[in-house]
Amino acid sequence: MPAVPSCILDPIRDQFLALLPTRVERHPWGCHNPRISDAVVFDRLVQVLVFGCGYERAADEHCSATTLRRRRDEWIATGVMETLRLLALAAYDRMVGLELEQLSADGCITKAPSGGDCAGRSPVDRAKLGLKRSQLTDRYGIPLVTEPAPANTRDHTLLPATLDRFTALETALGPLPERPRLTLDAGYDYRIVHDDLADRKITARIAERGAKTPIQTGGRWVVERTNSWMNNFGKLRRCTERRKDAVEFFIAMASAIITIRCLIRRAWPLYRWDTRPRSPRIR
C-alpha cells in the first residue's frame, strides 16, 4: 500500500525533482558506486513522514538509512523543500484561491521522545518531552505557516514569529490583505497580543479567558482540523528528529502534501486533467 496516493505524490515528486540543482560528477575515475536516484530517496522519506518509522525501517537493499539521512541533509542545505511548499501554496492560490482575509491560529502539542532543539517538558503529558507547532491557516484551513518550538512554550509567545513568517509569504503569493481578520482561542488573550496585532493592523477575534466559547465561534475549528491533518503524519505525531531544521523539513513536506490534496479536492469539480482521480474523496 503506498504511503500517499499517486495522484498526490506524482506531481509533488516531479516538481521536487525539477527544483533540485544539477549535480556535477566530480570523481576523477568514475569508478565509485552509482548515486541512488533522488526519486527513490524522496519516496522513502515520504514513507518516513507518513508512517513515522525510523530510517532503518524505510531502508532496503536499494537505499540505505545512511543515504536517506545524507540526502535529507543535502536537501535541507539547499532549502528545496520549503521552496516546494511555497510553490504548492502559489498553485492553490492560482487555481482555487487562498482566503487570506480570514486567518486562524492555534498551537498543537505532540510527542518528541528523542529530545532535541524543539523538545520541552509537555504540560499536557506528565512533563514528558514534547513538541509544539504554532499553526496559521486561511479560512479553509490551508497551512500557511507552521512554527515548531518546545512544548512548554506558551502559544501567545509564538504568535509574533508566526505572523512574521506570514508577512514573508508576500514574496511567493503577491500582495497580502491589508487588514486581515485573525481568530484565536483564550490562550492568546493577553494585552501584549492585542497591542501587537493592533500594530500589525490585524483585526483580532480572541476568546476571553475564563469564558466558555464553542470551537465553532469565528471559524476557529478550521485550524483544529489542520492540526488533525498534520497529526495524521506519524513523523509529526511522534517526532524523533533532534534538529530543528530536520523538523522543519518534514513539516514543509507535510504542508505540501496537505495543500496539494486540498487543491485536488476543490479543483475536482472545476477542472479536468489527464490524471484526475475518479472521486475527490482522496486521503
| pLDDT recorded at residue 67 | 95
Instruction: Classify residue 10: in a domain, yes or no.
Output: no
Instruction: Classify residue 80: in a domain, yes or no.
Output: no
- Our count of domains for the chain comes to 1
Instruction: Classify residue 38: in a domain, yes or no.
Output: no
Instruction: Classify residue 45: in a domain, yes or no.
Output: no
Is the distance from CB of 273 to CB of 1 less than 8 angstroms? no
Instruction: Classify residue 187: in a domain, yes or no.
Output: yes
d(CA 217, CA 206): 10
Is the distance from CB of 146 to CB of 256 less than 8 angstroms? no
Is the distance from CB of 111 to CB of 120 less than 8 angstroms? no
Instruction: Classify residue 201: in a domain, yes or no.
Output: yes
Domain that holds residue 230: 99-240
Grid cell locating 192: 501584549
Is the distance from CB of 192 to CB of 200 less than 8 angstroms? no
Residues 6+ apart with CB under 8 A from 130: 109, 110, 111, 112, 119, 120, 121, 122, 124, 150, 151, 152
Q: Tell me the pLDDT of the chain (283 aa) as tens digits.
A: 578 999 999 999 999 999 999 877 776 666 667 889 999 999 999 999 999 999 999 998 889 999 999 999 999 999 999 999 999 999 999 999 999 999 999 999 999 999 999 999 999 999 999 999 999 999 999 999 999 999 999 999 999 999 999 999 999 999 999 999 999 999 999 999 999 999 999 999 998 888 777 766 677 899 999 999 999 999 999 999 999 999 999 999 999 999 999 999 999 998 998 888 888 888 7
Instruction: Classify residue 265: in a domain, yes or no.
Output: no
Assign residue 126 the CATH number of its domain: 3.30.420
Instruction: Classify residue 222: in a domain, yes or no.
Output: yes
Beta bridge partners of 103: 182
* DSSP state letters, the chain: --SS-HHHHHHHHHHHHHHSPPPPP--SS--SPPPPPHHHHHHHHHHHHHH---HHHH-BTTB-HHHHHHHHHHHHHHTHHHHHHHHHHHHHHHHT---TTEEEEEEEEEE-TT--TT-EE-TTTTT-EEEEEEEEE-SS--EEEEEEEETTS-HHHHHHHHHHHHHTTHHHH-SPPSS-EEEE-GGG-SHHHHHHHHHTT-EEEEPPTTS---TTGGGTHHHHHHHHHHHTSHHHHB----SHHHHHHHHHHHHHHHHHHHHHHHHTTT---TT--S-S---
Grid cell locating 136: 496559521
